[in-house]
A and B are shown apart, each in its own frame.
Chain A
C-alpha cells in the first residue's frame, strides 16, 4: 500500500456497507482504514454475523468480527429505529427497498433522519448508491477509492469501488429522482 499525506486533518467519518468491510479486509487495508478514519457500521450489519461467515474457515475472520470491534471501540455501531426505517420506506418504491439488504436500508435511514449527519456512506453497491441519490443524499456518499485517498492510502481497486463507478451510479439515481422513478407515489 502506498501512503500519502491525508488531504484533511479532520477525521473522515465513514458509515460502511458490509461489502466495503469485506473488500477492505480482502485488500489488507481494514486496519489502516480503522486507524485513520472514524468507522461506523449500521447495527444491522454489526449483528448480522452470517454475512461475514467463511465456510472454509468455519468462522468469521476475527479481524472483521464487528461485534468484537464495536465492543472494543474500534468501530462505532449506529442504530436506527423501525420508525426511521418507515420514514425511508415512505420515500422509496417497494422494488427499490426490496432490492436492498436490511443493513443498507438502515444506513440510508440513519443518513436520512440525520442520526449520521456527519458521516459519509461508503459502499460499492450500485443499488445502494442509486437509492442514496434517490433520497437526495448524494453528497453523503463516498466511494472506497475516494475514502482511501482521503486517509492517505491508495490501492488498486475493482471497478465497483472506484470513484468513477460511484459517480455513474449516483448520476443514474439522480436522473431517476428527477423523473420520479423509484420513488413512492405520494
Chain B
C-alpha cells in the first residue's frame, strides 16, 4: 500500500505540473486547505480518501481509474493553430479528457466500425497550393461531401470517421486545435466563432488530420518556416474543400449580369455554401472571377458589411456543448447499462436533478421501454 501511495502521489504531481498548477492552487480547488497536504499526498506520506481522490482527479482532468492505473497511455499530440496562451495547458487537458471519454463511450457502445480517414503523404517543405487543391478534391470525393460540403462535414466526420469534434469557448481571438491519440482523431473548435468560421476551421484542421503522419505537428516548433508552408496549404485546402470549383463557379456565373454581381447575391451565395463572405470572395479571386483589389474594396465597403451582418442572425447556429453526437453516444451507453445515470450526468456536465431537462435539450427522453424491439425479417 505504501507503494500505491507513492505511485499515486507521483501521478498526481505529474498531472498537476502538466496543468501548471501550484500545490496551493490544487489544494484550494480540491478543498484541502494548505499546500502542505498536497505536498504530503504527492510524496506518498498521507492517506488519500476516496472522495478527495475523486476531486483531485476532476481538477486534474483525469478519471480516478487513470490516476490509480500502474501505467498511463501515451500522451496524445495536440496541435494548436495559434498558441492559446496561458490557458493552453488547462484547455488541452480538458480537451484530451473529453476525447478519452468519447473513446470510452465508443468502446462501450460498439457502434459500427469507423471508416478510416484517407491518409495523404506530403512533403511539408514543398507542398504547393495546387497540391492542396488536389487533396481537397480527393477528400471531397472520398468523404462524399457533395456540392455543399460545409453543410455535411461535421456529421460525416463524426458518424462515418469517428472524428471527435468538440467546442470550447475560446474568445474571439481563439483558434482551433486537432489531436491524435488512443481515442483516434479529434478537433477542437471555438464555440465563440460564427458557424461559417467554425466550418472553415474544421476544414483547416481536417487537412492536418489527413497529413498527420507526414506533416508532423512537431514541425510547428522545430521548423516554423516549413510549418508556415503547411499552414498556407491547409488554408488553400479548406477553401477548395468547402467551395468546390464547379459548384461555386456555376452559382456565381449565374448571378453575374452586365459584368456585375449584386452584394446581396454574394452574401446569399456565402450563406448557401455556409462559409464567410471573405472566404467566398478570396476563393473567387483564385477562380479568376475577381481581382484582389476589387475584393479588398468590397470587403471595406460599409454597405457590403451591413448587408453581410444583416444576413447573419437567421443562419447563426450556436454549437451544443457537449456536442450532440457525444450526448447521443453517452445516452446509448446509459440505456445499454454500460454507464450509470450519475456517470451520464457527469459526462453531460449536469446534475442528477437537471439531467432530464438536459437530455430534453437534445431531444432525448428516458423511457422505461427503451429495450422494446421489432423483429427483422
Contact = CB atoms under 8 A, between A and B. Distances in A.
A80 B342 contact: no
28 contacts: A19-B342, A19-B352, A43-B49, A47-B51, A51-B352, A79-B50, A81-B48, A81-B49, A82-B5, A83-B47, A84-B50, A85-B64, A85-B68, A86-B68, A89-B65, A94-B65, A94-B69, A98-B63, A98-B65, A99-B108, A100-B339, A100-B342, A100-B343, A102-B54, A104-B342, A127-B337, A130-B337, A160-B368
A29 interface: no
> Interface on chain A toward B: helix, strand, loop, or mixed SS?
helix
Given A19-B352, A101-B340, A80 B65 contact: no
Interface stretch (A32-40, A52-60, A134-142): A52-60
A126 B345 CA distance: 15
Contacts of B50: 42-44, 79-82, 84-85, 102, 105-106, 109
Given A22-B352, A56-B354, A83-B5, 17 more contacts: A17-B342, A19-B340, A43-B50, A52-B351, A53-B353, A81-B47, A89-B65, A94-B69, A95-B108, A98-B104, A98-B339, A100-B340, A100-B342, A102-B57, A103-B342, A125-B341, A169-B337
Contacts of B69: 89, 94
Contacts of B351: 50-55
Contacts of A19: 340-342, 352
Interface of B: 1, 4-5, 8, 47-55, 57, 63-65, 68-69, 104, 107-108, 333-334, 337-343, 345-346, 351-354, 357, 368
Interface in A8-45: 17-19, 22, 42-44
A104 B53 CA distance: 14
Contact of A99 (B49, B64, B340, B368): B340
A163 to B, nearest CB: 15
A38 B107 CA distance: 39
B4 A83 contact: yes
A59 B48 CA distance: 29
Contacts of A55: 351, 354, 357
B64 A105 contact: yes
Nearest to A50: B351
Contact of B54 (A22, A48, A89, A126): A48
A73 B283 CA distance: 70
Contacts of B51: 42-44, 46-48, 79, 102, 106
B333 A99 contact: yes
Given A47-B55, A85-B64, A53 B354 contact: yes
A46 B50 CA distance: 12
Nearest to A43: B51
Sort A-B residue pairs by CB-CB distance and give the 5 closest, nearest first. Answer: A126-B337, A102-B54, A101-B342, A99-B339, A82-B48
